[in-house]
Amino acid sequence: MRRTANLGLKANLNLLVAYDLLWPAAFEAEKVRLAKALGPVAKGIEHYGSTAVPGLCAKPILDIMAGISPLSEWERCKPALEALGYDYAEGAGVPGHYIFGRGRDRTERTHLVHVVGYQEESWRGSLAFRDALRRDARVAHFELPTAEFVTFVRSVDRQPRGGLVHWNPGTVPKTVTSLFSSYSAANARDALTSTSSS
C-alpha cells in the first residue's frame, strides 16, 4: 500500500512532526489543482512555511501562497478555491493575506492557501526567508549561535520597510519568534537590541 503525506492538524491544536519526504509531492499535486482552478488569476503558486524546508520539523499543514495582482481582486479566487473544498478563514489575522483552508473535514486543516499580492512585500519576504532556510541547514536545525541567528534573520530582508522580517526597535517579529522557538524570545530580543546599532 502506498503511503500518503503526513498532513492534518485538528483545530486549536499545535503540534510539530518530523519532516515528511512526501510533502513536496503533496504540494506539487495541489499546485496543479490550484493552477487549473485559478487559471491566469494566479501569477505564481509557491510552497512556503515549515513544510517547504527539507528536514525541518513542522506543523503538518501545507502552506501555499497564491500570488495575484492586484491584491484588491483577491475575491476572484474565492469561487475557484471553494470549488476545491477550501473555505475562507475570514479574520485569520495576517495582514495582506486572504487565507483559505481545507482538510479531510471541517475539524482539521491539511492545506492553507494564502492569497497575497504577487511580487509584493509579503510574497518576496516569505520566499526569501524560505530560500534562506533551504540554503543553510544550520539555521533550519537551530544550530546557529544567537549572534549568527540575528545576522541571518537581518540578512533575509533588507528592505527599508515591511516584508517578513522588518525590525521595529526592541521587538522580535512573531514569525521569527514562533519559527525559531528553540531560541528564547528574550535572548533574541536582547541580542537584537544590543546589535541594533551595528
- Each domain of the chain, given as residue ranges in start order, spans 9-120, 136-194
Inter-CA distances, 68 with 28, 78, 96, 173, Å: 19, 12, 12, 25
pLDDT tens-digit map of 6-51: 999 998 888 889 999 999 999 999 999 999 999 999 999 999 999 9
Domain 9-120 has CATH 3.30.460.10: yes
* Grid-cell match 499535486, residue found: 29
Task: Name residues whose C-beta falls within 8 Å of residue 140's C-beta, 6 or more positions apart in sequence.
Answer: 53, 54, 55, 56, 133, 134
pLDDT tens-digit map of 148-175: 655 655 555 444 444 444 333 333 344 4
